[in-house]
Amino acid sequence: MFARWSLYILLSALGVGLVVAGLVAFAAVMAYPNLPSLDVLKDYRPKVPLRVYSEDGVLIGEFGEERRAVVSIKAVPKLMKEAILAAEDERFYEHGGIDYQGVLRAAWANVVHGGSRQGASTITMQVARNFFLTKEKTLSRKFNEALLSFKIEHNLSKDEILQLYINQIYLGQKAYGFAAASQVYFGKPLDRLTVSEMAVLAGLPKAPSSYNPVVNPERSKLRQLYVLHRMLVLGFLTDAQYQAAVKEPLKVKHERHDYPAKAEYLAEMVRQDMYDRYKDDIYTKGYKVYTTLRWADQVAAYQAVRKGVMDFDERHGYRGPEKYVDLSEGDNKLDEILDDFDESEEILPAIVLQASPYVVKAYVKGVGNVAIGPDGLKRAKKMLEETPSHIKPGAVIRVQLDAKNRWQITQLPVVEAALVSVTPQTGAIRALVGGFDFNQNQFNHVTQAWRQPGSSFKPFIYSAALEKGFTPATIVEDAPLVFSAAQTGSVPWEPKNYEGTYAGPMRIRVALAESKNLVAIRILQSIGTNYAQDYITRFGFDPKMHPPYLTMALGAGSATPWQMASAYSVFANGGYRISPYYIARIENQEGRVLAKAAPVTAGGQGTSPVIDPRNAFIMTSMMHDVIRYGTGAKAMQLGRADLAGKTGTTNDQVDAWFAGFQPTLTTIAWIGYDQPRTLGKGETGAQAALPIWMGYMGKALKGVPEAAFTMPPGVVDAKINPQTGQFESGGAMDEYFYQEAVPSAAKKPDAPADPLF
């Protein structure tokens, strides 16, 4: 009787099973023709962001909703593939899309442990889901996922499926694909990852947020250990490799920027140009833009601007905490509070926990509690002693590590600065820093800041004067001038030299070197303001920005550092005007060149000088003396004899400049406040801007041989009396003249002269 019932139950179950199998088969037959086409997989075109590179191939920026780098399966290291298989689908190369052993194993684990603890999703099923389906947990979605997996397996090879997975899967931090994640988390390509790092990445697909090594390092470590253990069990690692990987300390990138060269301002300029060309396609089509930027030069420029601004800020005292917060909610809220305060590279926000004139204890996000001793309190010492109520528990301050790895109190500067460097022969931009911190202030001071150039504009007035018959030896009176309201058309004007003293009659070479305002004004009076306004257009200046008044001699008009770089390059290259450019070539995703720069080289075929080459040479020799003994003498510390330039300081020290060059590089440095106000007493171009220029040029020119400024035909090197400026046989000083501007008894034009002045 029992046997009969058992047989009946067995036959019933078998019948039900056959019916279910029939229904499933029927559903599959009906659904299969309606499955999505696999064309999107066979012709894989992911959304690849716009990438911007330096001239030497260093990534300096990318723009797009997704960080993605497409990589061939052949370029993926063997251990990386094995780490992925160990974490996600160890039988990938054995099953046909659905791992039945994995399904049974997962089902048994779920029964034993209760609830849904394990899944059995294969890599093929994940590809089907990521490309065609949603992540909703419904029977119909699972059914379609299984059918799609079969279809994918019958149309693509295993390597093709794995390649799609490796490039498409989301891994957190906006990173899609393992190649992009490798850069995002570790700052290096896949083929340079260690086994330990590979295991971290391989563990991410299961839960990118939960196992994110930046956000959840503890959970990420546990997941990494699981992956490494699976690799050991599956024979992908030896015991020695496993032990080494487990012990290896991870160096995960935590900084906001993922690029070795801080070139956000130029990268944004490229993005805007590319958008004008290709509109929204730039964010998804994988365009690659190679700029003229040199990586080492850009790093040097960024460091020089940061140091120059921080040095300036330190000279002007400590302003105190940024804010005060409530600490009553306990230590568990400190990270949340600090989330509202942006970091700026090494300058970190911190919350004061205890304070005295001798030690301040503070909490730093990602670091923990730190103690700031007497050496680190120097900036805030006066405030701690005189107004201790300012730095108290709950105060939000800024801290950074000094050269000896000790914490010190600092602050975010409010002053801004900029630097731009260009090759004067072609106009190729070699370095560009538009401000102290792009994330704090996106205003590009190189291209957008119209500021008074001050005395850095004087060389253009002097250049105009040479065309009107002046020579470097011309004597001009350095003495007070007073202009009435009738003469100025507005209010009385009594210009002064910066130092408030006057030297009397002097050669204009000396006047430029020492930046004598009254000499420059008298020169402009002599040549005429309208003539000067027209002449400066040869250098690329807009005459509307430089009204034809005597104040033009003191740089009272407006110019940008970008314009100044182009203008000074006319002197550096022997009289030719160049157009600065920063995009060398544009490539599509496949590497085909879509556009390429065709710069015109100064002095090349079809070019004509905009000023007399003799003028450019003589002006360069005069600006060489600015550095040799004038207001820019500090630059002699660089130990080079081929530098020329001019300091610039405006009224009340509102703007400070240094504009200078060497035959292969023209560089402009500027510092000032966005809302114009005085930089403070003594903050001249030599004090505030020249150190930035020197910090950059010292590194950019390291290893570059000294170059000669070649004397062009038609220039005479003649002996003069330094007191009178007159030609004098056997005179004590050499001076350069246009050939027609010196007596016939002067040295012949082909006589040798020192090319470095």
Catalytic positions, written as ranges: 88, 455
Beta sheet of 665-672, edge-to-edge order? 429-433, 416-422, 665-672, 655-662, 644-649
Residue type, 428: A
Residue whose structure tokens are 């009224």: 651
Query: DSSP letters along 101-154, please?
Result: HHHHHHHHHHHHH-SS------HHHHHHHHHH------HHHHHHHHHHHHHHHH
Q: And the tokens for 527? A: 């040549």
Residue 312 contacts residue 436 (beta carbons within 8 Å): no
Is residue 429 within 8 A of residue 293, CB to CB? The reply is yes
- The Cα 753–Cα 384 span in angstroms is 61
> 217 vs 73, 246, 252, 438, CA distance in Å?
29, 14, 9, 28
d(CA 75, CA 193): 13
Checking DSSP bridges between strand 348-355 and strand 67-68, what pairing results, if any?
Answer: unpaired
| Beta-strand runs (E) in 128-280 | 175-176
Calculated CA dihedral for residues 432, 437, 440, 442, nearest 10 degrees: 0
Q: In the chain, count of helices (H) and strands (E)?
A: 23, 22
Cα 470 to Cα 737: distance, rounded to the nearest angstrom:
9
Identity (one letter) of the amino acid at 151? K
Residue type, 677: R
Give the span between the Cα atoms of 325 and 396, in whole angstroms: 7
Contact call for residues 508 and 462 (beta carbons, < 8 A): yes
18 Cβ contact list (under 8 Å, min separation 6): none
Query: What is the C-alpha separation between 143 and 32, in angstroms, rounded?
Result: 11
Contact 376, 409 (CB under 8 A): yes
Residue 286 burial (C-beta neighbours within 10 Å; 0-12, 13-18, 19+): buried
Contact 84, 227 (CB under 8 A): no
Phi-psi category of residue 497: left, alpha or beta, with phi > 0 → left and psi -120 to 50 → alpha: beta
Using CA atoms, how far apart are residues 226 and 213, in angstroms rounded to an integer? 15
